[in-house]
Amino acid sequence: MAIKFNPNLDYQNDAIAAITSLFAGQEIGYSNFTIYDPKKYQTQMSISEGTEQTEIGVANKLVLDSDDILKNLKETQLNNHLKASDKITGNEYNFAIEMETGTGKTYVYLKSIFELRKKYGFMKFIILVPSVAIKEGVLASLRMLTSHFDYHYKDFAFHYFQYSSDSLHQLMEFARSDKIEIMVMTIQSLDSDNKVLNTNSQKHLEKTNGVKPIDVINRTNPIVIIDEPQSTSASQSRKGYIKKLNPLCTLQYSATHKQEKNVHKVYRLTAVDAYIKKLVKQIEVASVIPKNDHNFAYVKLIEVKATKSKITAKIEIDRRDLKTGMVERKVISGIKPHDDLFDVSGRREVYSNMRIDKMTCNSGKQSIEINGKELLAEETMNSFDQDLLKRTQIRKTIEEHFEKEKRLNPKGIKVLSLFFIDKVANYRSWDGDNVIDGKFLTWFEEEYEQVRRKYECDRAIVSIKTPVNSVHQGYFAMDSKRHFKNTKGDSVDDIKAYESIMKDKEYLLSFENPIRFIFSHSALREGWDNPNVFQICTLNESAKSNDRKRQEIGRGLRICVNQDGERVYGFETNTLTVMANQSYEDFAKQLQTETEQDGGFKFGAIEYLSFAGITIQKDDVEVNMTEKESTDLFNFCKAKGYIDVDGKTTEKLKIDLNNRTVEIPQEFDKYKWDIIEYFKKVCGNLNIKTAENKVSYRLNKRVVDNNPIFEELWNRIKDKTKYSVQFDTEQLISDCVVKLKDLRVEGVEIEYRKAKISQNTTGIEGTMTGLEYEYISGRNRYLPDIISFLQNTTNLTRNTVLEMLNRSETLYMFYINPQRYMSDAAEIINNVLIKVVLQGIKYTKIAGEEFYLQEVFPDEELHGCLISELVKSDRSVYEYNRYDSTVERVFAKALQDDKRVIVYTKLPTKKFIVPTPLGDYTPDWAVVLDDNGEKKLYFVVETKGSTKEDDLRNTELLKIRFGEKRFLHVGGAGYVLASKHEDFKREVGKLLTMK
């Protein structure tokens, strides 16, 4: 089958028009030159005629001057909503076209060649690429498109070839030809003085009429198309060698342009544009992550940072909360040489005797040493069984594959899955002439058969009966014996591998070809751009992977084709599933970071010409805002404080959008709602904590100084307290045994999450669409000291702990998942213990100790945000009350509006505390009420979102109960739990009735 190309896609033709419009006013024509240098070439005389042999070359001819080009450039940029260039420096015409991967960049620049020939007579073109893989891809595209261009441009003959230093005669054909000539070459064939193109070797001059090879090319004044300029022409040295080609202009095509001086962007189709217009596949991330696996001394090095005075590391580690005993995987910063991981981990036994020996941080390496073992950045130590994880990834890829085949095969769409590996032996190796299947291939065939049986009765799947050994194929570099070998992607053997990949590209799309699962080396990744890749699974074993997410998904973004070679559009058909060993949230975050870094694209930002996309009705004709209008509106927004110096939207804009008070200049009034809608789209979530409207405030002297009512309130609650506990140990053991018998410990699991990744102008985010768990059976090799652990986390004696465990008859679960059993048992015992303690606790005053007013409420200037953090008050200790939640904000306003409230204050955390067995506790408010003028009522109030016990976290509820005990035993004020002001009033009424 052959892929059909649609010549009428608007976005592609817009990109082509952006190039051809640069030369508006150019006449059709060319120039001639002589290819001969008598100084360097010994004249060859015709034996018969005795005359010198000379050659006439054909060159591109530009008649426009730089002013003409600049005028066309500005108009083109304005039409495409890009900032106009001020000038062109040194008659160097360098133009950039930004197109997201998978949207047909190669087709666009190849078609542009024919349009430039048709409109202006330009005939000489060089396509300069950064790698062998991309070169082979371009050549494959030219082969596929030959008949397409022959049909659509039948009046313009063309010839293409790949440059080879062994075939310099082709340069002469390139120079002499009067038809379209396309030379494809890698930058490596040009980028040093000792390359054949740049030498004066007599051997080479004889093949080019005495003219230096590079001069044969530069006299044609070629248009140089640079594919992936961020790689091809990244260095100044390479730019210098490209100049030696004497280009009429350079046309630079990439999805990830770097900002460069004197390179003028004329067209832009960002990753977000492509996603919104559904020009590429929807991305779905499938995460395979171990859960409940904290039984080993896991360490991952995130990064190492060094300054003149210190060196520190950021690591990920399984850390225990010393209060609860719960273990969670945490990222810890500020790790120093000689730190003890036993202490860092919360004194977990599995980390005993593990110290950071040394750290390294330089441009080429970040590492730490733990007990002599080096750990590089992104490496892990003692992590989950990686073989098991990879086998699970393979199985899930197969399952996703079959599900897609069920949906897409009836539409005539073949589904391909792509596995990238970094060690060929994991797929297949050889011992002499004996073929040895690698572990990945063995796992694949075993898992394939298991999964296939689930679908074998499904007639919608075309190849369900195909034998497993026929559904997969390896594409790798080969040695002289045609055995697969590891590679770096740029060797002679790799060229053959790329040729094989490209040759099979269209055949792989046909149902006639049984191959559906492809294994290839990661180094050959760039060679793959098959449109029907629907699953990508990377199974690299190297510790540190340099793979970027945009590079990874780029292999499968293209819109798929059916058996007629036609593109089938729509996200309901085009979803690329990427198997990841990280969470979808982390994947989306990394993808957003790369998108901003690569494309100079700022999510949630506005640029000078951002408004140029808004349509305006003028004389019944729809036109875009002019550059000046968009710039004026941009400058207004900047002056108004709606955007900052980087173009990022500010909190002021979000506040005005929320309050519907956005200001727009009068001349734009009739477009106001379109502009506001654009603002909303860029801002995204408007409910974000604001940094604007900051105020300073101090003590409210009228309330604090010489106020007998406030003094009485403070005297009632200022005493520091302590508690004592009495309980029955046997009752505690019995209660714990009952709860422990209900304990059910899950073994280590693999969590499989699926999430759709969406993109818009505000950012990239994932939305979970599926969740599965898979239990991993087996006993753990390492068993920690459970008695010491529980003794330390509960403060009970060893004998008490041992008695509880023995009588509970649950110790067998300890072998299934030691850390989970210990954590859950500690939580159960502590919960029972706290409830027992609650029944037997007694609070008393500490003689002679109190909270001093000046320490709890210092007379100093404080700062906060009026809109999101503070409520103004004239009856509180401070001029403003700081709140931490919506519940507190509403309650504070209600207190301020309640005429019965004489004085109230928010009690500051860590300065006014009630000690509890669960840690220090600070109630929210102290309030004085006027009881109808007869007396004053004093209360301490805790505000929560709900007063129902089932709605509160266990720790929250228990601290509240300890708070009640404190004020019940010591007195001074009533204690009330409330979710709103009405609750408070109701509870006060109850207390008064009881009295």
The pLDDT value given to residue 977: 93
Structural tokens at position 421: 């590996």
What pLDDT, on a 0 to 100 scale, did the predictor assign at position 497?
55
Task: Tell me what percent of the residues of the chain surpass a pLDDT of 70.
Answer: 88
Assess if residue 696 is contained within a domain.
no
d(CA 215, CA 381): 56
Segment 198-203 shows an average pLDDT of 82
Would you state the pLDDT for residue 266? 96
Q: What is the pLDDT of residue 502?
A: 64
Mean pLDDT, range 430-444, rounded to an integer: 87
Indicate the pTM of the whole model: 0.71
- The pLDDT score that the predictor gives to residue 541 is 57
Residues 6+ apart with CB under 8 A from 310: 336
Query: Strand ranges (DSSP E) for 14-78?
Result: 30-34, 56-60
Q: With 70 as the cut, is the pLDDT of residue 632 above it?
A: yes
Range ranked top by mean pLDDT from 786-795, 858-867, 930-939, 957-966: 957-966
Last residue in a domain, options 683, 713, 731: 683
Does 558 lie in the same domain as 450?
yes
What integer is the mean pLDDT of 345-353?
Answer: 87
538-542, 554-558, 765-769: which has the minimum mean pLDDT?
538-542
Pairwise pLDDT comparison (757 vs 404), residue with the higher score: 404
Phi-psi region of 624 (alpha: psi -120 to 50; beta: other; left: phi over 0): beta
Please tell me whether residues 590 and 643 are part of one structural domain.
no
What pLDDT score was predicted for residue 955? Answer: 80
pLDDT (tens digit, 9 = 90+) per residue, 275-284? 888 999 998 9
The rounded percent of the chain whose pLDDT value lies above 90 is 43
pLDDT at residue number 619: 66
Residues 408 and 377 in one domain: no
The pLDDT of residue 320 is above 90: no
145 band by pLDDT with thresholds 50, 70 and 90: very high
* pLDDT on residue 601: 63
> Residue 1: inside a domain, yes or no?
no
pLDDT digit string (tens) for 216-250? 999 999 999 999 898 888 788 899 999 999 999 99
Residues 751, 660 within the same domain? no
CB 350 within 8 A of CB 783: no
Q: Say if CB 460 and CB 405 are below 8 A apart.
A: yes
Contacts of 268 (CB under 8 A, 6+ apart): 80, 81, 82, 98
**How many separate domains does the chain show?**
6
* Same structural domain, 227 and 128: yes
CATH of the domain at 94: 3.40.50.300
Instruction: Please check whether residues 136 and 37 belong to one and the same domain.
Output: yes
Q: Is residue 289 part of a domain?
A: no
* pLDDT number for residue 754: 86
In a domain, 279, yes or no: no
Give the model's pLDDT for residue 45. 38
> 501: which residues sit within 8 A by CB, 6+ positions away?
136, 475, 520, 524, 527, 528
Q: Where residue 567 sits, what CATH number does that domain have?
A: 3.40.50
Asked which of 798, 813, 842 is the last residue of a domain, the reply is 842
- Read off the pLDDT of residues 488-542 as tens digits, 9 standing for 90 and up: 545 555 555 556 666 667 888 999 999 999 888 765 656 567 899 999 998 875 5
962 located within any domain? yes
457 shares its domain with 347: no
Mean pLDDT, residues 918-929 taken together: 92
Query: What are the pLDDT digits (tens) for 641-695?
Result: 988 887 888 888 888 887 788 899 988 877 788 888 888 877 765 444 444 456 7
Spatial distance between the Cα atoms of 404 and 857, rounded to a whole number of angstroms: 64
Token pair listed for 195? 């390359």
Q: State residue 745's pLDDT score.
A: 84
**357 and 476 within one domain:** no
Q: What is the pLDDT of residue 74?
A: 93
Q: Both 776 and 798 in a single domain? A: yes
Residues 479 and 526 grouped into a single domain = yes
CB neighbour class for 915 (10 Å; exposed up to 12, middle 13-18, buried from 19): middle
CA distance 103 to 832: 62
The CATH number assigned to the domain holding 912 equals 3.40.1350.10
3-state secondary structure of 497: helix
Residues 567 and 638 in one domain: no
Q: Does 708 reside within a domain?
A: no
Mean model confidence pLDDT for the chain: 85
- What pLDDT is stored for residue 881 in this prediction? 85
Q: Which residues pair with 901 in a beta bridge?
A: 929
Answer yes or no: is pLDDT of 564 > 80: yes
pLDDT at residue 378, as a whole number: 77
Q: Residue 138: what pLDDT? A: 92
Q: Please check whether residues 391 and 343 belong to one and the same domain.
A: no
Q: Which amino acid, 352?
A: S
Q: What pLDDT, on the 0 to 100 scale, is given for residue 524?
A: 60
Q: Domain of residue 935: give its range.
A: 851-994
Residue 783 confidence (pLDDT): 81
